[in-house]
Structure 1
Amino acid sequence: MIESNTASWWHSAESSHCTVCCCTTANKVLTLVFMVLLVVAILFGNVVTLAVVVGTKHFHTPQGYLKASLAVADLAVGIFVVPLSVYAEVYLMVADSAPQWTSFNSQLVSFHPCNVIGPIFAGCTFVSITTIFLLTIERSIAVLKPLHKDSVITRKRTTILIVLSWIGSFFLAVSPMIFSAEIALEYNSCSRMCNYALSTINEFQAWNILLLFPTFDFTLLEEPCIRQHSKRRKHLAETECQSSSKPTFSDIKAAKTIGTLTVAFTASFTPIAVFVVGNVLGNKWCNFSFFSFWILASNSCWNVIIYSVRDQKFRLCAQKLLMPSRRKNSVTN
């Protein structure tokens, strides 16, 4: 009886929220293939990043620590978040009915997978944002205050900031459920992910707490970028003839890499911010929900590509790691 109710609920949800990914069998298969490939890309890319950072002495720096933290956050998305969506979609295709837990929100059952997966996705997103913020600050100091960077930016201070960013990010991720009894977690038939949802239908005011998310994120992403570029131009104009205080070429190039990371993450997070604001205003936006959440999830595999394109040392270390036979041949020759 429960299985039948679940199936009927899911089919009615699909008919009322028919996203472009799931209206036909072909689209469902393509969506599932995309999810599986995304898991592989996230796992492969971030494992390579961690291997290069941990295994290469050159990257045992505050910047390397921050990149490792970013890779761990992205890796968690590939290990926990996307596989749950893959499981739900495979179950739906094989059994022609959704798993039972997808028909209830987290407040209606004793255990709900989204109670774990939802905060992990939100928390790792916030960790990525705070880490990019810290990377921007680190590069700003390296470019603007090159003589003081070693004394100001230490590995111990960086480690403490990384730990605080993880604690603060995951507290922010669970804060909607702590501060509002109206907000729960559910597996959404539109986004195909665990999302924050209203436990009742009429209390739309409870959504206002979620406005903290885009406010927090854009404050960290945008403010340091504007400040960094304006101060850099002013600094270089005032110290053009003082070569001893100018930043090194590698510092400037690393700053450009972090700038690229910031732009990529801002672009991937913007649709989510728009979606949250739209939900607060009462809009559903089912198709937009799917694309916005999966654009953000896809960002978890882009960092290694950006490092490989922008950072020659990272690219060479990754090549040596992935092609050891080529390294041996070059040494022999």
Structure 2
Amino acid sequence: MIDSGGANTLDVAKPELCCPPAKKILTLLFMVLLTLAILFGNLVTLAVVLGTKYSHTPQGYLKASLAVADLAVGLLVVPLSIYAEVTLMVTERPPDWTSLSSEVTGFHPCVLVGPVFAGCTLVSISTIFLLTMERSVAVLKPLHKDSVITRRRTSVLILMSWVGSFFLAVCPLVFSRDIALEYNACSRMCNYVPGAAARFPGPAWNILLLFPAFDFTLLAATVVINLVSLSSIRRHSRRRQHLAGSELQRAKPTFSDIKAARTIGTLTVAFTASFTPVAVFVVGNVFGHQWCHFSFLAFWILASNSCWNVIIYSVRDRKFRLCAHKLFIPSLGRRSSKA
């Protein structure tokens, strides 16, 4: 999302444009496979959420929101990088809009793709936070779950997360004339960059640090809530070994709630691990470090997180697996209904 290298970025990026053909092919193959994985995985998630009554719940709505955000990355962000790589391989020169030294006439793709990637990343973080809150209520206050967590309230929160995330994504362009969007040949993505007139420290640089500060604040809150929920689950598991069944039924979370809380905890760990390299790169870049090769790894690790959600659901959520099988293998659904 962000690269604060400014005018020096082109100098660092030149060696990347002359990399060996084998490296270009492997990079392109990785991008294509990642696009297919993102599209397939999130379409499966949407099909399960929208096509089964089991998923018509607040948690299902949040999963659908997360899948739409990830799907946007697969439809817009990664394909633009693939187009730039293919153009470079075929014509032996990058598209005009990828050159930092050229004046682009007409529509610049990064004006759309940059905020989409930033906005969808923020939506993913805020949605994981909302999923964590939803699961914490189910685990800590099981008797109040249905009255506190409703589909209407969840829909409003989802809308607020999308509006707030994309507002934050365009803030650097709206509130600072010293920040622009340019395609970076190191990361192979559209990044926010400070203009040549931007001085460090200054307002432009502070805005660039807004994304990692917001993301880590929300991720830290998510981790804390997950720890509280998982600690409650652990206490409940110990209590279950000592209490009689009648006493235990008074106010306990269901097995599905416990399983879902652990799944959301896994999602949080996966997203934190994928976002951390970008945050490290941005902070280092602000202080003058270029890290060209590291920028590619950081941004594409973050992009690859868009296909991890369906993998985590498939591994940890048995109902999700069964619903996916019934949708794509109808004979399995008929056999289970007869049984």
Mark yes or no: TM-score above 0.5. Answer: yes
Show the 5 A alignment for 1:155-304.
Answer: 155-200=151-196, 203-204=199-200, 205=202, 206-230=204-228, 233=231, 237=235, 240=239, 243=248, 244-304=250-310
Distance in 2, matches of 1:246 and 1:94, equals 62
- State the AA in 2 paired with 1:183: I
Q: Shift in Å at residue 18 of structure 1?
A: 3.2
Q: Distance in 1 between matches of 2:153 and 2:102?
A: 38
The superposition leaves residues 109-144 of structure 1 with CA deviations (integer Å, 9 ceiling, x where unpaired) of 442100000000000000000000000000000000
1:13 deviates by 4.4
Contact kept? 1:18, 1:190, Cα under 8 Å: no
Kindly indicate whether the alpha-carbon contact (under 8 Å) linking 2:182 and 2:192 is maintained by their aligned counterparts in 1.
Answer: yes
Return closer, same or farther for 1:16/1:236 CA change in 2, 3 Å cut-off: closer
Measured after TM superposition, the shift of residue 322 of structure 1 is 2.2
Q: Write the distance in 2 (CA, Å) between the matches of 1:318 and 1:233.
A: 31
How far apart are 1:14 and its partner, in Å? Answer: 7.5
CA offset at residue 323 of structure 1?
A: 2.3
Cα distance in 1, alignment partners of residues 337 and 102 from structure 2? 58
The Cα shift of 1:208 comes to 1.9
Task: Map residues 134-173 of structure 1 onto 2, 5 A cutoff.
Answer: 134-173=130-169
Which amino acid in 2 is paired with 1:117? V
The 3 A distance-change label for structure 1 pair 328 and 252 is closer
Tell me the SS of whatever aligns to 2:154: helix
Q: Does the CA contact (< 8 Å) of 1:118 and 1:185 recur in 2?
A: yes
Deviation of 1:330 after TM superposition, in Å, equals 6.5
Q: Shift of residue 107 of structure 1?
A: 8.6
Query: Structure 1 residue 40: deviation in Å?
Result: 0.6
Distance 1:318 1:22, change over 3 A: farther
In structure 1, how many angstroms separate the alpha carbons of the residues matched to 2:235 and 2:318?
A: 28
**What is the DSSP-based 3-state SS (H/G/I as helix, E as strand, rest coil) of the residue aligned with 1:209?**
helix
Aligned residues: 321
Task: Report the AA paired with residue 247 of structure 1.
Answer: P
- 8 A Cα contact 2:42 2:70, kept in partner: yes
Q: Is the 8 A contact 1:106 1:112 kept in 2?
A: no
Q: Would you say 1:42 and 2:38 are equivalent positions?
A: yes
- Tell me the equivalent position of 1:51: 47
Identify the residue that residue 27 of structure 1 maps to in structure 2.
23
CA distance in 2, matches of 1:164, 1:106: 38
Q: Pick 1 or 2: higher relative contact order, CA cutoff 8 A, min separation 6.
A: 2
Question: CA 1:154/1:289 → structure 2, altered by over 3 Å: closer, same or farther?
Answer: same
Deviates more, 1:210-219 or 1:249-258: 210-219
Q: For residues 120 and 260 of structure 1, do their structure 2 counterparts lie closer, same or farther at Cα, with a shift above 3 Å needed?
A: same
1:18 to 4, 15, 22: 15
How far apart are residue 321 of structure 1 and its match?
A: 1.9
**8 Å Cα contact 2:129-2:218 kept in structure 1:** yes
**Is the Cα contact below 8 Å between 1:182 and 1:203 reproduced in 2?**
no
What CA distance in whole angstroms lies between the structure 1 residues aligned with 2:131 and 2:317? 15
Using the size of structure 2 for normalisation, the TM-score is 0.88
Superimposed CA distance per residue, residues 2-34 of structure 1 (whole angstroms, 9 cap, x where no aligned partner): xxxxxxxxxx94875535x97210000011011
Alpha-carbon offset, residue 230 of structure 1: 3.3
CA displacement 1:239-258 (0-9 Å, x = unmatched): 94552111111101100000
Structure 1 alignment gaps of length 5 or more:
1-11
Candidates 73, 96, 100, aligned match of 2:96: 100
Which residue is 2:81 aligned to? 85
Give the whole-Å Cα distance in 1 for the aligned partners of 2:322 and 2:133: 26
**Equivalents in 2 of 1:324, 1:275: separation in Å?**
47
Give the alignment's TM-score, normalised by structure 1. 0.90
Q: In the TM superposition, what is the alpha-carbon distance from 1:328 to its structure 2 partner?
A: 4.9
Corresponding residue for residue 6 of structure 2: none
**Partner Cα distance (1:107, 1:221) in 2:** 39
* Contact 1:105/1:184 (<8 A) preserved: no
Cα distance, 1:229 vs. partner? 2.0
**Percent identity among equivalent residues?**
67
**Alpha-carbon separation, structure 2, partners of 1:110 and 1:330:** 57
Distance change (3 Å), C-alpha of 1:58 and 1:183: same
Give the superposition deviation at 1:224.
2.9
